[in-house]
Amino acid sequence: QVQLVESGGGSVQPGGSLRLSCTASGISVAGKTVAWYRQTPGKDRELVATTTIGGYSNVEDFVKGRFTISSDSAKNTVYLEMNSLKPEDTAVYYCNIPTWNRQYWGQGTQVSVSS
């Protein structure tokens, strides 16, 4: 079975940093597109960053310069490095892999940024 497991979330003060991990099992990330989304209660999920393993990567404008997406194919893991965190970054962060026949989601990891 395919599973995506996020980890690394937590509570930090504004300006702090976190590194989120998404580890896949039952599927190889090599050559695939992997995305990070985030969601707050009552709002739609929004795209944060994407990478095609072995190819391009991109972070959305609202986190550009603060967040970085990277991967380690040997560990079948994708990372989201989050720096200079702001209260508006508070959300549940999800890992996503879209494929031709379905998309896979993890359970999410909570990030809370407050004083």
* Each residue's pLDDT tens digit, 66-90: 999 999 999 999 999 999 999 999 9
* Mean residue pLDDT across the chain: 96
Q: What is the per-residue pLDDT for 54? A: 80
Structure tokens at 19: 């590194």
pLDDT above 90 for 42: no
